[in-house]
């Protein structure tokens, strides 16, 4: 996080990074982690109209191969994506896309997730000279270090001096 001096002994945190701040191969460890509660899972499932009993019916889930409720994968993706914003897309003009979203292990209420993103590509935009594209691979892990998800994402990021509020 960049800190900008705004006066004598007064500093303002800057959210996100400019295009020039990204380096190919750099890995950002996103912190803090996030523990997912059963209430988070139920509320998200109801809000998104995903009423699959594996997310909201403990008696049904108890009879499954997992023996307990599963966290809605849409919620898992949303939380992991959110964890990356400060480091990857906090200054972004837009998300340009996600690909290869892989769910590699189940997530249960009570699990704590951690994530990291590796910079795969940084390039200037051909049509927007004050912006560029950053592509990262994000991997998420539970509290036991088991990878639970990975995806590739590209964001359109401004160059220094061309962001909102610059």
pLDDT bracket for residue 83 (50, 70, 90): very high
Evaluate whether residue 8 is within a structural domain. Answer: no
Cα separation, 154 vs 100, whole angstroms: 12
- Domain residue limits at 136: 17-38+72-158
Preceding omega of 84 cis (within 30 degrees of 0): no
The edge-to-edge listing of strands for the beta sheet with 131-141 is 27-35, 112-124, 131-141, 147-158, 94-103
Residue 1, pLDDT above cutoff 70:
no
Helices (H) and strands (E) in the chain, counts: 4, 7
* Average pLDDT of the segment spanning 73-90: 96
CATH code, domain carrying 105? 3.10.129.10
Per-residue pLDDT band for 14 (boundaries 50, 70, 90) equals confident
Whether residue 15 has pLDDT greater than 90: no
Strand partners, 12: 4
Residue 104 lies in a domain: yes
Asked if residue 10 belongs to a domain, the reply is no
pLDDT, mean over the chain: 93
The count of domains in the chain is 1
- With 60 as the cut, is the pLDDT of residue 77 above it? yes
- Answer with the residue of higher pLDDT: 163 or 150: 150
The pLDDT value recorded for residue 163 is 84
- What's the sign of the alpha-carbon dihedral 155, 160, 162, 166? positive
Residue 7 domain flag: no
Residues whose CB falls within 8 Å of the CB of residue 28, separated by 6 or more in sequence, listed in order: 84, 87, 88, 116, 117, 119
Please check whether residue 43 lies inside any domain of the structure.
Answer: no
């Amino acid at each position: 996080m960049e800190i900008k001096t705004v006066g004598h002994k007064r500093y303002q945190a800057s959210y996100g990074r400019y295009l020039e701040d990204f380096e190919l191969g750099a890995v950002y460890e996103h912190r803090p982690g996030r523990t997912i509660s059963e209430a988070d899972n139920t509320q998200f499932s109801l809000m998104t109209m995903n009423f699959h009993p594996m997310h909201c019916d403990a008696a049904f889930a108890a009879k499954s191969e997992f023996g307990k409720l599963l966290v809605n994968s849409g919620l898992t993706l949303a939380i992991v994506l959110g964890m990356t914003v400060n480091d990857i897309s906090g200054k972004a003009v837009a998300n340009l896309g996600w690909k290869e979203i892989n769910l590699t292990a189940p997530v249960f209420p009570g699990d704590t997730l951690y994530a990291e993103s590796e910079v795969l590509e940084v390039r200037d935009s051909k049509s927007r000279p004050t912006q560029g594209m950053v592509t990262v691979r994000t991997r998420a892990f539970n509290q036991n270090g088991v990878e639970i998800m990975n995806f590739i994402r590209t964001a359109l990021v401004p160059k220094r001096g061309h962001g909102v509020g610059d």
